[in-house]
RNA sequence: UGCGAGGUAGAGCAGUUGGUAGCUCGUUGGGCUCAUAACCCAAAGGUCGCAAGUUCAAAUCUUGCCUCCGCAACCA
């Protein structure tokens, strides 16, 4: 395997239109932090770069909605995100932002470089333009009627009712989702990255040269290759972003997906003038940590960009994670279905490692996973506290009791003692191997195994019994136990940095390093350790219940917003349903019922007969409008007198978004009297 | 609909080139008392999504189906 001299580790730039939640942490930031912390402890030359992604349409929309500038939006979230990362112990060497001057310059320069090499093509297309909001509209921001199923709220890229994928120009009665105005088609010219020309190179690079990538990642790339890569626009008509540095490019900015990954480079530049060795030197290992939604950008598009620009190295690996769900549902920023990092830090002060542990243990490395609060509690209380914390406490307390906090002088090691050291060495090797191959979940498990070995060692050797009959042996036992503890302090650092600090304080040592973990004299005889203190606090039921309550509140709020959609009614049997006799019919006559606001008196041909029905639709329909209308009618409803007129059935109606009643009209040529089933 | 990735004990996950199904937590029983009622030992618990096929032998290979997730060209 290739030997690298230094590492450049990137973590997907969080989008600055909301705070960071546990899905981001489990998918990207915790794995990248484990990886870089590990490399740092081993003394490698590594930089970890990240920053806020601050451009793009959603941010401008949010600003508009709140009546502030996009800059104010990103300033707000950049601060929240940056602060919460720091407090959570995600240790970037630099956390930058794409609204920075240095980023604008770097991104513009990248564009120019590629452009000068003829790496773009220019194309003019027709796109919908919102004359009121004065901007071009992405397909997603156009709604209209689906040409296939007539669903009225279809998006410009897809109809969610019938699932057909659409292009915005197919929509009947298109409407801007931003202003509600009717958009018009306008010509616009854009630069495109001709990915099709890079396909051959990318296919070889990914499928042949990097067979060690995760199946999830390779699979998705394959999927793209099969369809065939197409040119992709790198510019956009918008006033928020990096201006396109070219002639005739007024009002055009670099499209966010082009701009964002360059943020890794500009962050590096901001960090060190010596940035080029991290991006242009073949001895450097570049690793991108991302979520699965970002695979195409980091495995296909960004490499194609880097390649076109020349000089740049390409990623060695892109360990993308799948998604984390929360209590069985997808995490959603807009629905507030999330555990926000800044809120966790407030609600669980000093318990960063509990979340780090739970999220690493449940990391969605190969498939989507579910996070539950009960699981966090169980992992913290039954694993971290019970196994790890308890062992450390046992060793420290025994040392305090028997040796006044001094590491005792051991006698010759017996077979059990030797076995312990052998296991520790093996565990350390497994952790290294797992981390280097991005198996952080497995690495964490191994780390805990070291604590288990400690507990078992104490339980098997029973120093508290032996102290009365063989005090010399107890010295060796406690010596060994303390070596295990010190090894733990080293091995846990990539995963549980706060615990590592505490543990080193308990051992009152700062001379531990990765290389001597698992060795027989990591903590020398005669060294005085500090006072025993608890490493972990338990997570109490009350804390969990408070969080669950918060979530159910979020759920309730969502339901309030979607109030128009009523919950499903109680299940009925087929017999119940078949009692209802619904027929198609035609309205023959309609007259307003005098002295009422709502009622129309209708004469309906039901196929069986002609009958009178009184219906509460007068607010929405004039009598002449409903004449001859095909309707569905429930005919065996018990007759009822309304304003003195006997109503002999009920016209089926639905309510639309504005509360207006609309007829359930049979499609096509249903004869009057046809049964509706 | 197409493509990709999953579906393995109550939960979360391993299972290398096909050869007796494993780990952690939880559950049950026992032991211990140095320790945050923590720790240690043992047991129970699985027709490996379903169906068919290849094979002496399939969680593992082939085919079909069911199901969940993602992507599908301007969605970041």
Question: SS3 for A449?
Answer: helix
Cβ atoms A246, A111 nearer than 8 A: yes
User: If 0-12 CB within 10 Å is exposed, 13-18 middle and 19+ buried, where does residue A527 land?
Assistant: middle
In tens, the pLDDT along A57-90 reads 888 888 888 899 999 999 999 999 999 999 999 9
**Which is higher by pLDDT, A248 or A658?**
A248
Tell if A462 CB is < 7 Å from nucleic strand B. yes
Q: What is the DSSP letter of A638?
A: P
pLDDT value at A597 more than 50: no
φ, ψ for residue A579, nearest 5 deg: -65, -30
- Which tokens is A549 given? 């309550």
> Strand B within 7 Å of which CB atoms in A 166-195?
167, 190, 192
DSSP reduced 3-state for A136? strand
Nearest-angstrom CA–CA distance, A143 and A160 = 11
Coil, strand, or helix at residue A407? coil
Which residues numbered 330-349 in chain A sit less than 7 A from strand B, measured from CB?
330
Would you say residue A564 has pLDDT above 50?
Answer: no
Give pLDDT, residue A639.
65
Its CATH class, for the domain covering A119-237, is: mainly beta
How far the first Cα of chain A sits from its last, in Å, is 67
Average pLDDT rounded to a whole number, residues A350-359: 94
Query: CATH 2.40.50.140 residue ranges in chain A?
Result: 574-663
* CATH architecture of the domain formed by A372-564: Orthogonal Bundle (1.10)
User: In the structure, how far is the CA atom of residue A434 from the C1' atom of nucleotide B20, in angstroms?
Assistant: 29
Q: Give residue A123's pLDDT.
A: 87
Q: What is the pLDDT of residue A398?
A: 95
pLDDT at A659 over 50: no
Give the 3-state secondary structure of residue A542.
Answer: helix
**Residue A362, nucleotide of least CA–C1' distance:** B12
Looking across all nucleic acid strands, the nucleotide with the smallest C1' to CA distance from residue A139 is B74
pLDDT of residue A580: 74
How high is the pLDDT of residue A176? 80
Residue A657 reports pLDDT greater than 50:
no
Q: Which nucleotides of B are covered by protein (CB under 7 A)?
A: 1-7, 11-14, 23-26, 31-36, 38-41, 68-76
Q: Is the CB atom of residue A163 positioned under 7 angstroms from any atom of strand B? A: yes
| pLDDT of A157 | 65
- Whether the CB of A361 is less than 7 Å away from nucleic strand B comes out as yes
**Strand B contact at CB of residue A160, distance < 7 A:** no
For chain A, count helices (H), then strands (E).
23, 27
Least confident of A11-20, A159-168, A450-459, A469-478: A159-168
Q: Distance between CA atoms of A539 and A632, rounded to whole angstroms? A: 58
Which of A228-237, A296-305, A491-500, A661-670 is predicted least confidently? A661-670
Give the closest nucleotide to A218 (alpha carbon vs C1').
Answer: B4
Beta pairing class for A94-97 and A45-52: parallel
pLDDT score at A492: 96
Confidence of residue A130 (pLDDT cuts 50, 70, 90): confident
Confidence band for A392, pLDDT divided at 50, 70 and 90: very high
The pLDDT, as a whole number, for residue A274 is 96
CA atom of A485 to C1′ atom of B30, Å = 29
* Cβ–Cβ < 8 Å for A554, A337: yes
Question: Looking at chain A, how many residues does it have?
Answer: 677
A290-308, pLDDT tens digit by residue?
A: 988 889 899 999 999 999 9
Which is more confidently placed, A208 or A600? Answer: A208
Measured N-to-C along each axis, helices A440-461 and A30-41 cross at an angle, to the nearest 10 degrees, of: 60
Measure A215 CA to B18 C1' (Å): 21
**Contact between residue A42 and residue A59 where contact means Cβ atoms under 8 Å apart:** no
Residue A48 to residue A11: CA distance in whole angstroms? 8
Q: Which residue ranges does chain A devote to CATH 3.40.50.620?
A: 6-112+255-321
Decide if A217 contacts A293 (C-beta within 8 A): no
Contact flag, residue A48 CB and nucleic strand B, below 7 A: no
A296/B1 CA-to-C1' distance in Å:
22
Q: Is the CB of A207 under 7 A from strand B?
A: no
Instruction: Please classify residue A612 by burial: count the beta carbons closer than 10 Å to its beta carbon, then call 0-12 exposed, 13-18 middle and 19+ buried.
Output: middle
Strand residues in A25-74 grouped as ranges (E): 45-52
**Nearest to residue A15, comparing CAs of A290, A204, A209, A270?**
A290
Say which residue, A415 or A160, is predicted with more confidence: A415
At A507 the three-state DSSP class reads: coil
Partners of A601 in the β-ladder: A591, A614
Angstrom distance (rounded) from CA A115 to CA A353? 47
Cα separation values, A211 from A199, A270, A293, A318, Å: 17, 34, 20, 12
The pLDDT of residue A567 is: 39
Nearest nucleotide to A192, CA against C1' atoms: B74
pLDDT value at residue A159? 60
Give, in Å, how far the C1' of B42 lies from the CA of A559: 50
A375: CB within 7 A of chain B nucleic strand = yes
Scanning every strand, the nucleotide with its C1' closest to A379's CA turns out to be B25
Whether A587 CB is under 7 Å from strand B: no
Q: How far is it, in rounded angstroms, from Cα A590 to Cα A604? A: 9
> What does the pLDDT average to over A407-424?
94
- Write the DSSP symbol of residue A190: E
- Closest amino acid to nucleotide B26 (CA–C1'): A378
Residues 500-539 of A with CB under 7 A from strand B: 534-538
What ipTM does the predicted assembly reach?
0.89
Q: What SS3 class is residue A96? A: strand
Furthest-apart CA atoms within chain A: distance in Å: 108
**What is the value of pTM for the model shown?**
0.82
**pLDDT surpasses 80 at A200:** yes
Q: How confident is the model at residue A554 (pLDDT cuts 50, 70, 90)?
A: confident
Q: Domain A6-112+255-321 classified CATH 3.40.50.620?
A: yes
Q: How far apart are CA A575 and CA A581, in angstroms?
A: 12
Report if CB A469 to strand B is under 7 Å: no
B35 nearest neighbour residue (CA to C1'): A394
- CA angle, residues A292, A296, A302, in degrees to nearest 5: 125
Q: A574-663 is classed in which CATH architecture?
A: Beta Barrel (2.40)
**CB of A265 within 7 Å of some strand B atom:** no
Answer yes or no: is A78 CB < 7 A from strand B. no
Q: Where in chain A is the domain with CATH 2.170.220.10?
A: 119-237
Q: How confident is the model at residue A358 (pLDDT cuts 50, 70, 90)?
A: very high
Residue A230 has a pLDDT of: 87
Q: What is the pLDDT of residues A438-459, one digit of tens each?
A: 999 999 999 999 999 999 999 9
Q: Any atom of strand B under 7 A from CB of A124?
A: no
Nucleotide nearest to A164 (CA to C1'): B1
* Mean pLDDT for all residues in chain A: 85
* CA/C1' separation A437–B5 (Å): 19
Q: Is the CB of A393 under 7 A from strand B?
A: yes
Measure the CA angle with vertex A126, ends A120 and A132; round to 5°. Answer: 115
State whether the beta carbon of A459 lies below 7 angstroms from any atom of strand B. yes
pLDDT at A97: 95
Please give the pLDDT value at position A632: 78
Q: How confident is the model at residue A508 (pLDDT cuts 50, 70, 90)?
A: very high
How many CB atoms are located within 10 Å of the residue A45 CB? 15
């Amino acid at each position: 395997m290739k030997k690298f001299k230094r590492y450049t580790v990137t973590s997907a730039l969080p989008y600055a239109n909301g705070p960071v939640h546990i899905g981001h942490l489990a998918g990207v930031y915790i794995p990248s932090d484990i990886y870089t912390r590990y490399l740092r402890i081993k003394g490698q030359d590594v930089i970890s770069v990240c920053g806020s992604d601050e451009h793009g349409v959603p941010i401008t929309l949010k600003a508009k909605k709140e009546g502030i500038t996009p800059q104010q939006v990103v300033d707000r979230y950049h601060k929240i995100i940056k602060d919460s990362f720091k407090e959570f112990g995600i240790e970037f060497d630099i956390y930058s932002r794409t609204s920075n001057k240095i980023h604008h310059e770097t991104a513009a320069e990248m564009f120019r470089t590629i452009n000068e090499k003829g790496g773009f093509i220019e194309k003019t297309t027709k796109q919908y333009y919102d004359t009121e909001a004065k901007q071009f509209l992405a397909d997603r921001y156009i709604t209209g009627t689906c040409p296939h199923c007539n669903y009225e709220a279809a998006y410009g890229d897809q109809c969610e009712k019938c699932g057909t994928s659409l292009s915005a120009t197919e929509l009947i009665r298109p409407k801007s989702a931003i202003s509600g105005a009717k958009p018009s088609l306008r010509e616009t010219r854009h630069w495109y990255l001709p990915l099709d020309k890079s396909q051959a190179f990318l296919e070889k690079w990914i499928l042949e040269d990097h067979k060690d990538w995760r199946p999830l990642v390779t699979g998705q790339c394959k999927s793209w290759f099969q369809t065939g890569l197409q040119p992709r626009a790198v510019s956009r008509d918008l006033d928020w972003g990096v201006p396109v540095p070219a002639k005739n490019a007024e009002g055009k900015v670099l499209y966010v997906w082009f701009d964002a990954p360059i943020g890794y480079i500009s962050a590096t530049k901001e960090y060190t003038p010596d940035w080029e060795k991290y991006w242009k030197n073949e001895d450097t290992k570049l690793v991108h940590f991302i979520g699965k939604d970002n695979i195409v950008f980091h495995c296909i598009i960004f490499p194609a960009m880097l390649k076109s620009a020349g000089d740049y190295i390409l990623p060695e690996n892109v360990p993308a994670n799948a998604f984390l769900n929360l209590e069985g549902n997808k995490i959603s920023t807009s629905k507030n279905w999330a555990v926000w990092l800044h809120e966790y830090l407030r609600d669980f002060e000093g318990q960063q490692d509990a979340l780090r542990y739970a999220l690493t243990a449940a990391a969605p490395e190969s498939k989507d996973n579910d996070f539950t609060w009960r699981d966090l509690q169980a992992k913290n209380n039954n694993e971290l506290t019970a196994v790890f914390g308890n062992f450390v406490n046992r060793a420290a307390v025994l040392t305090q009791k028997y040796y006044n906090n001094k590491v005792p002088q051991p006698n010759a090691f017996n077979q059990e003692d030797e076995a312990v050291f052998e296991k520790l060495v093996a565990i350390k090797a497994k952790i290294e191997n797992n981390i280097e191959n991005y198996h952080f979940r497995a690495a964490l498990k191994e780390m805990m195994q070291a604590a288990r070995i400690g507990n078992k060692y104490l339980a098997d050797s029973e120093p508290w019994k032996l102290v009365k009959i063989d005090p010399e042996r107890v010295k060796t036992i406690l010596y060994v136990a303390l070596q295990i503890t010190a090894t733990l302090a080293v091995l846990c650092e990539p995963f549980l940095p706060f615990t590592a600090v505490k543990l080193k304080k308990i051992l009152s040592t700062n001379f531990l390093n990765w290389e001597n973990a698992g060795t027989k004299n990591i903590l020398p005889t005669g060294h005085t350790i500090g006072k025993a203190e608890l490493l972990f606090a338990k997570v109490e039921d009350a804390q969990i219940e408070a969080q669950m309550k918060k979530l159910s509140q979020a759920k309730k709020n969502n339901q309030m917003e979607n109030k128009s959609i009523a919950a499903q009614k109680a299940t009925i049997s087929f017999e119940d349903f078949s009692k209802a006799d619904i027929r198609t019919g035609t309205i023959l006559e309609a007259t307003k019922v005098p002295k009422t606001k709502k009622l129309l008196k209708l004469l309906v041909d039901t196929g069986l007969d002609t009958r009178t029905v009184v219906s509460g639709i007068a607010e929405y329909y004039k009598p002449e409008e409903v004449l001859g209308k095909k309707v569905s009618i429930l005919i065996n409803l018990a007759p009822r007198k309304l304003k003195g007129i006997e109503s002999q059935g009920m016209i089926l109606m639905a309510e639309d978004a504005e509360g207006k009643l609309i007829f359930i009209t049979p499609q096509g040529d249903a004869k009057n009297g046809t049964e509706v089933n």
